[in-house]
Amino acid sequence: MGSVQIVTTILAAAITAVAVWLAVRAVSKMVAVIRLGQPDPTRSGDKISRTRTMLAETAGHTRMLRWSVVGAAHWFVMVGFVVLSLLVLEAYFEVVSPTGGLPLIGGWTLYGLVTEWIGILGVVGIGVLIAIRLANRPNRAGRRSRFTGSTMWQGYFVEAVVLAVLVMGFLIRGFKVATDHFEYPTWATPLSHAVGAALPGWESGVSVAALVKISISMVWVIVISLNVTMGVAWHRFLAFPNIFFKRRPGAAGSGLGALRPMMSDGKPLDFEEADPEKDQFGVAQVEQFTWKGLLDFSTCTECGRCQSQCPAWNTGKPLSPKLLVLSLRDHAYAKAPYLLAGGGKDLTGEEKATAAQLAHLDVLALAEAEKPLIGDAESGGVIDPDVLWSCTTCGACVEQCPVDIEHVDHIVDMRRYQVLIESSFPSEAGVMLRNLENKGNPWGAPQNTREDWTKGLDFEVPRVGEIEDFEYLFWVGCAGAFEDRAKKTTRAVATLLNEAGVSFAILGEGETCSGDPARRIGNEFVFQMLAQQNVETLNEAFEGREKAKRKIVATCPHCFNTLGNEYGQLGGEFEVVHHTQLLAHLVATGRLTPVQPVDGGVTYHDPCYLGRHNRVFTPPREVLGSAIQGELTEMPRNSERSFCCGAGGARMWMEERIGKRINVDRVEEAMSTGARTVAVGCPFCSTMLTDGVNGKGAGEQVEVIDVASVLLRSVKPEQVGGAEETTPVAG
């Protein structure tokens, strides 16, 4: 060992020791913070499915590759980071000796070939990512940049380190080539040989370059260890557990659909026995999120994919799912010293720590502890109320997040506390909640008018109890029973089912609201009241039937989602289909035959709770394809990336006062296709888009109607008027 090697070895050992010590300290802090969260015993089951999902999403990049160029570039960088870690390890042998290398596999030509090409493609990949970040700088693109609000220096730093480490790897190999110490042939390592041809035969160059490579790597470790909220770096470690512990690992797509139940101490809250002084009602403090929530916040990579797809952010609202998560993350870590010292408020608002426990704490941690989780700028709140109430729960953020952060669950948990304990929510939504409690529907319509939509049909609509058997229970829903536009859909579906010879029955006045708007706004009490009533009614209607024969067809995706995904939490197990799924089946089996093509061009708007939340994309398109007997005109944003109509998350009953109206944005996109018909599969979407079309003054040129009505016009063109019309469309 020469003098150069002695120096490089000592320096490499010193900087590595510092980096390892700081990394251990940082990991310990992160683990301690995450463990502050509430228990969640639902995250540990089905380990095989969890492992399979984690490997598919990490090694397979199944979510990242939805953004093809970025996803491919990121995959090569990720693989480079994992595999080329071996080359960092190899550098520790090279600082000791210019001829050093990894034991056992270091001399294999296959090892040299694989690492060479991973290095080459890694350089290309990181170059692409750097170019994308530079092209989308927030100071240039503003809100259109998904990096707006991200900590940009951290992104630049991480990408520069990755590039530098890759370059240094080729320099080390180049010096080995130049000094004739390189064991791999030219055909396997062409770039290394090309670099070596341009370098001098400096014997100590290998050790010096190896020291530089180790130093760059360890500086990276030191920097991220001193910045535990540096998600752009830490996500490469935290993504694996965060994906593994996702809520629904076996679910297709994002695992949206059902909301996480309202929990207290790791158990679903029972409102019959719940006590606000002993049980947690929603989330009022950051430590009241589950440990998985705190892991979510720590894992955020600040990539901004959620932000780029969010309908609120894209229409000038203050909500960015990314910025919300970052605010919660920063607050959690700033408050952590206070919490770890024993501080915190109990459910009555009393301080749990003694003065002695808090005496040594930094004043900044104590100040952070006093911040309300929800509050405006004047009160110093972590999350502004306008941010909380801008969410439509459309799920675009969860769908796009490459590390499976569960934004919607966290937002609704915060809403639950605001509604149930603080009684703080947009005032206009109060009318809707009172109507649900008193009338069983958000419009406040009399219950004895639930069956009025059946008047004028040329066939009898049977009620449960009036016939001995039926194949499907037709869940009409509040909109389908009371809202004028939705009544047309209800009548169209009933007409088509009758035409196809499907045996069905309705509950009539026995039906009440599914509870979706109450649950999404955060009023879990009203949701459970309505849901338990419906579960009891439905179980009675299906008495004696096994689950496979407890079939429900619903025209509202919100009812479809609630009945199918959430009623199981309350003892209601049913097979629920959306009407577009049933109609697609009836057309495919020849029980419904379109005879007259619908012309003028048709585009389709994917409802969030049908598409993203429940992965129903194909059946509506199959129905429309059969009706128009041609190609559907797709909007630029469709299927998984469909843009919300603005009505979800109980936003249907709240005023949209900030920024551009979401429905107008979507209508402009629909109109840009040139289609004269905008087909929908949701009564909320129908209302919002019709209002948007009318607002644009295009009511004479563009019509918004349900998929069922489009099909009916093709199957029974001579009877469309009688099936669709009941009352004039409300303006």
* Confidence tier at 66 by pLDDT (50, 70, 90): confident
Q: What is the pLDDT of residues 702-726, one digit of tens each?
A: 999 999 999 999 998 776 555 555 4
Euclidean distance between CA atoms 588 and 506, whole angstroms: 25
Q: Is the dihedral of CA 415, 416, 421, 424 positive or negative?
A: positive
Q: What is the DSSP string of 315-367?
A: TT-S--HHHHHHHHHHHHHHHHHHHHTT--B-TTS-B-S-HHHHTTS-HHHHH
Say if residues 257 and 561 touch (Cβ distance below 8 Å). Answer: yes
Q: What percent of the chain has pLDDT over 90?
A: 70
Domain assignments of the chain as residue spans, ordered by start: 3-15+46-244, 263-421, 429-715
The pLDDT value given to residue 314: 94
- Note the maximum CA span of the chain: 99
Average pLDDT, the chain: 91
Q: What is the pLDDT of residues 42-63, one digit of tens each?
A: 998 888 999 999 999 988 888 8
Q: What is the pLDDT of residues 281-336, one digit of tens each?
A: 999 999 999 999 999 999 999 999 999 999 999 999 999 999 999 999 999 999 99
Q: What is the pLDDT of residues 588-624, one digit of tens each?
A: 999 999 988 888 889 999 999 999 999 999 999 999 9
Q: Say if residue 359's pLDDT is above 90.
A: no
The pLDDT value given to residue 348: 82
Q: Which two tokens stand for residue 390?
A: 């801008």
Say if residues 392 and 496 touch (Cβ distance below 8 Å). Answer: no
Euclidean distance between CA atoms 176 and 170, whole angstroms: 10
* Residue corresponding to tokens 């088509």: 496
Euclidean distance between CA atoms 174 and 193, whole angstroms: 6
Q: Where are the beta strands (DSSP E) in 592-691?
A: 602-604, 677-680
100-107: which pairs have CB atoms within 8 A and are 24 or more residues apart? 100/206, 101/183, 106/183, 107/183
Q: What percent of the chain has pLDDT over 70?
A: 98
* Confidence tier at 515 by pLDDT (50, 70, 90): very high
The pLDDT value given to residue 105: 78
Q: Cα–chain-centroid distance for residue 113?
A: 39
Task: Specify the pairing of strand 267-268 against strand 602-604.
Answer: unpaired
Q: Which two tokens stand for residue 135?
A: 């092209």
